[in-house]
Structures are given as C-alpha cells and as structure tokens.
Amino acid sequence: MAKRYLLFYKPYGVLCQFTDNSPNPRPTLKDYVNVADVYSVGRLDQDSEGLLLLTDDNEVKYFLGDSKFSHPRTYWVQVEGIPEESALKQLREGVDIQDYRTRPAEVLLLDVEPSLPSRKPPIRFRKSIPTSWLEITLTEGRNRQVRRMTAAVGYPTLRLVRYSLGIDRGHKLSIEGLTPGQWREATPDERGALGVLRG
C-alpha cells in the first residue's frame, strides 16, 4: 500500500497528537485530520502554528525528524521589540540555552510582516512596545528552541509559525496555499523527493 504524506497547517492551541487524556481535553490533530495511522514528523508546541508533516512512513519520519541529518526548518517569528544587529549576530552564531549551545542559524529581520491569517486568540497588543518579525532557519529542533533562543538575546517570542521544512537542496514542504486547520496530500513531486530519503 502506498505511503501517506499529509501537509497540515496546525492552528494555535492544537496539541501535536491525536489524543488528549487530560481532565479537560484540548483540541488535537484528530479534530482536523481523519486519516488513520499517520503521525507527525517532529512536533510543534500547543502555542505554535504552521507546518506539520504527517506520515505513516517511519523511514521518512526518522530522516526528517532526527537533527543529525540537518534538514532546515524555517520559522516566522514575531518578537517583542526590534532586535539590534548584535542580537541577530548572536542568534546566527549560536546561543547558550541551559547546558546546550545552539547550532548556527540563518536569521533575517523582515522588512514586511509575513502574510498570515490572524491568530485566534490574537497576541496581546501593547502600544508602548513595538514588535517585529524574524525569519529563522534551524537545522535542529529542540524543545521550544526558537522561543528560548529569542528570549536568550532579550526579545521574547510572541507568535511562532513554522513556514517550511526542507527535504533536500531542491525541495521543501511549506504552508503555502493552506489556511490554519487545512491539510492536503503531498504532490507527486513532493512524494518523489520524500521517496529519495527512503533510499
């Protein structure tokens, strides 16, 4: 049977799993994706949004999910304040988070806010503190890493959206064409690129 590869735009507030056995269940992937036996490649926190790849292909899940293979993950990050160049340089070179130093990252201060749907609920707005958007590309995905990185250089994250996941030099998966809560099957071209990972 052919493997399944689904691109899902995870909304804010949704758990990156199909069940929640807590006393007050929260929204999960099951509320949006009615496909059996697929699981997410990597995770996004409940308060993060954006691209999730869901698949039943364990080899692809391994190659894309394990940081040793250095597949790039690009995030659009709204932060409190306008980062100085010294802070951007720190993010690019690596910052210390607890007992770990992050790998070098690609970091851009965006001139224009990304075209994204409004978040529900919206972020807290404060007239006295400006916000700005960064594009951050990592080759690793530790727990709450982007939030910890921006906080470490003095600019807390307000909104975090994973825009894309790189497969190889010529292919990436992205949220283009999707709105929060929507998913689609991978295109034949995307399936072909993913299939290469399986050898």
Residues classed as catalytic: 45
Instruction: Quote the CA–CA distance of 40 and 65 in Å, as a whole number.
Output: 9
Instruction: Quote the CA–CA distance of 132 and 81 in Å, as a whole number.
Output: 6
User: Which amino acid, one-letter code, is at 121?
Assistant: P
Burial class (CB in 10 A: 0-12, 13-18, 19+), 122: exposed
Instruction: Quote the CA–CA distance of 98 and 104 in Å, as a whole number.
Output: 17
Would the CA dihedral through 18, 22, 27, 31 be positive or negative?
Answer: positive
CA triple 64-162-157, angle to 5 deg: 130
Distances in Å between the alpha carbon of 77 and those of 62, 72, 99, 114? 26, 15, 24, 10
Instruction: Quote the CA–CA distance of 10 and 179 in Å, as a whole number.
Output: 9
